[in-house]
């Protein structure tokens, strides 16, 4: 497991500023474009709104969803549709996730976590493996979340940890307890498996 830094009490503005600084730092290391992967769910979108207003060379940044629901982009449950609506006008290139995708190494992997310890759409029932030979998998959560009862496509643990650094944004005491237990080896939920596989810095905004 790599070093994990816990940052408590940060609001959306502070997190957006942190992400912007990390993107600038990554861009400064290469003349090429960079890629980042970002989560869906409700937590990141207010942060995206702030981030989109920041003066970044967005044309050099490709945004990959870490997972998505298998629905059309204009569906309310589509992660890529909502990401596109916020970050494409700023100039970012949005890359829809597909089963046959070949994701690059990410400058930053931004993740959320569910109360059951899932990351991306790697739910406990899907038994995600750190040695998965595939970068993307089609998965069916069981039970299906009632707010989004759809099959998913998700980056696997090897694809997510193939990044220069990882960040989490976790809200709520119940999720914080799951994350802390993962750090201490208290369970084998997907978040724990990912953290054990990570080889670069992990920052968690809690």
> Taking the domains of the chain in order of start, what are their residue ranges?
4-205
CA distance 188 to 89: 40
Average pLDDT, the chain: 95
| pLDDT tops 80 at residue 61 | yes
Q: What is the mean pLDDT of residues 131-137?
A: 97
Could you report how far apart the first and last alpha carbons of the chain are, in Å? 19
What is d(CA 49, CA 95) in angstroms, rounded to the nearest whole number? 18
Is pLDDT of 131 > 90? yes
Please write the tens of the pLDDT for every residue from 5-50: 999 999 999 999 999 999 999 999 999 999 999 998 889 999 999 9
Mean pLDDT of 129-151: 93
Pull the structure tokens for residue 179: 């994350």
Supply the pLDDT for residue 139.
96
**Cβ(99)–Cβ(136) below 8 Å:** yes
Residue 74 CA to residue 60 CA, distance in Å, equals: 25
pLDDT at 83: 96
Confidence of residue 148 (pLDDT cuts 50, 70, 90): confident
Among the CATH numbers 3.40.50.300, 3.40.30.10, 1.10.3720.10, 3.40.50.1360, which is that of 4-205? 3.40.50.1360
CB 151 within 8 A of CB 96: no
User: What does the pLDDT look like over 85-97, one tens digit per residue?
Assistant: 999 999 999 999 9
């Amino acid at each position: 497991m790599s070093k994990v830094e816990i940052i408590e009490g940060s609001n959306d503005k502070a997190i957006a500023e942190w992400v912007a600084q990390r993107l600038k730092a990554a861009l400064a290391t290469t003349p090429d474009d960079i890629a980042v992967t970002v989560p869906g769910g409700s937590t990141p979108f207010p942060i995206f709104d702030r981030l989109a207003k920041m003066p970044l060379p967005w044309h050099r940044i490709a945004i990959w969803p870490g997972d998505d629901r298998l629905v059309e982009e204009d569906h309310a449950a589509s992660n890529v549709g909502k990401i596109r609506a916020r970050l494409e006008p700023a100039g970012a290139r949005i890359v829809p996730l597909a089963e046959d995708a070949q994701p690059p190494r990410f400058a930053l992997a931004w993740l959320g976590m569910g109360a059951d310890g899932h990351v991306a759409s790697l739910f406990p029932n899907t038994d995600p493996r750190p040695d998965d030979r595939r970068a993307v998998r089609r998965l069916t959560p069981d039970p299906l979340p009632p707010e989004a009862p759809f099959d998913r496509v998700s980056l696997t643990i090897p694809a997510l940890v193939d990044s220069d650094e990882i960040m989490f944004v976790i809200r709520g005491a119940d999720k914080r307890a799951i994350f802390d237990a993962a750090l201490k080896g208290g369970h084998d939920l997907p978040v724990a498996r990912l953290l054990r596989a990570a080889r670069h810095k992990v920052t968690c905004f809690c």
